[in-house]
Chain A
């Protein structure tokens, strides 16, 4: 690979690594954009010439048009707010409760040994299969979606926090005790902060699990939400509208993913990530 350099008229040759890196990033970004546009263009073109059946595949332009109608004349934006609200509520609840549960295992070896197998067993239960029961228990409103998103995330979050707890350096504990610390000092000053990278590593997985939980909840029974809109559109064979739902959910998923990336950076300032 040829190394670019900045040459001063008389001085030494200085390799500008930062500039080099920035250039690679810029090129990658442009490349990514081109690929995306190419896919959209191909999709549009192939459905236009009839190689792809536009009845099933719709087309980007139709999706945009249908989406615009759904925003102006339908309830797309309200549905979007409903779905993202349920997802984020369930995600936050699951992460907080799960992390607290995982961290609590530090306090007692006996308690964590008794609880751990149940945690793993519950993780193996396909929570989505419980959705019909939850809808009966909590109704067809907002709550049942939040509960589902919560159940999807809580175990993953607690297992992640528990891994963090298990990996706390015992010597750090020892050092703190030698400074006269009590157990609660060790917990708040060492155990929690040193588990942060593990807890953070579960955020990205959990946000998409929470979204899946919400959508399934809406599929089962709901009056609002993107999931309900997709189900409804499918039932009346409005496949263009199904595609609108899929595109909106993808966009929502990406935005929330970026949100967790931002959160991760915030929590990981000055540290190296785990995973």
Chain B
């Protein structure tokens, strides 16, 4: 289990001659094996932060550390998954999930042998040889996450992975994700703008504000695990929900 820390990260752009700040002095820590969520309206720099952590973009200032080691600007250290499933339409589900192994030079046959039981255990039994367009949105997201898991990184970034799913499927996927998370003991960093989702899944929630994106508050969820649908009715859950709603509304009001 690895600890991810973001130290004082900022990102400035120059657009139309004017300097713009999209992320300002973000400090956060995701301790090993914790489920940490980031919540905030669009334009709060969540995606910028994720690109920085994944090493796809460099911060203007600040460092990213994994277990104390500086990984700023280096890609390939953390798993990364977006709202789009990004499955390759010309590959079967099985061949899609092994692509990370392929890149690392694992022979296809061996990679398939490793992936098959994972697909079968986590709800894709019978779909291994199908192409992505034959699957529902939820199924495709499952495949996307299994691809990320097979890449075997200790830290996984999930950027609104269930944002495009309907409410029913979403709840199902949340439970599925919690099961995977406890089976694999990963450190998860999860972006969402759904308050219920953030509380239901997380140990800690960071609230972001937009323009420039910065951290406004950190909330400890403190709900017992394992969680299920009953958790959604607990006083603590409702209390946190109210608190977060108020906090996010404050952010919206000044700008109208």
- Which residues of A line the B interface, CB within 8 A? 169, 171-172, 174-182, 185, 189-190, 193-194, 196, 270-272
Contacts and interface: CB of A to CB of B under 8 A. Distances in A.
Interface in B50-71: 54-56
B88 interface: yes
A189 B104 CA distance: 13
A114 B80 CA distance: 35
A178 B99 CA distance: 12
Contact of A175 (B80, B89, B131): B80
A178 B103 contact: no
Interface of B: 54-56, 75-76, 78-80, 82, 84, 86, 88-90, 99-100, 102-104, 131, 133, 147, 151
Contacts of A172: 86, 88
B15 to A, nearest CB: 19
Given A172-B88, A193-B88, A178 B104 contact: no
A231 B131 CA distance: 52
Contact of A193 (B75, B78, B90): B90
Contacts of A169: 86
Chain A at the B interface: SS class? helix
A178 B79 contact: yes
A174 B76 CA distance: 11
Does more than half of chain B's interface fall in helix, strand or loop, or is it mixed? loop
Nearest to A180: B76
A178 B131 contact: no
A177 B56 contact: yes
B210 to A, nearest CB: 22
Contacts of B82: 171, 174-175
A172 to B, nearest CB: 6
Given A176-B99, A270-B90, A271-B90, 17 more contacts: A171-B82, A171-B86, A174-B80, A175-B86, A177-B56, A178-B78, A179-B76, A179-B147, A180-B151, A189-B88, A189-B99, A190-B88, A193-B88, A194-B88, A194-B90, A270-B131, A271-B89
A171 B85 CA distance: 10
A269 to B, nearest CB: 8
A182 to B, nearest CB: 8
A182 B103 CA distance: 8
B11 to A, nearest CB: 16
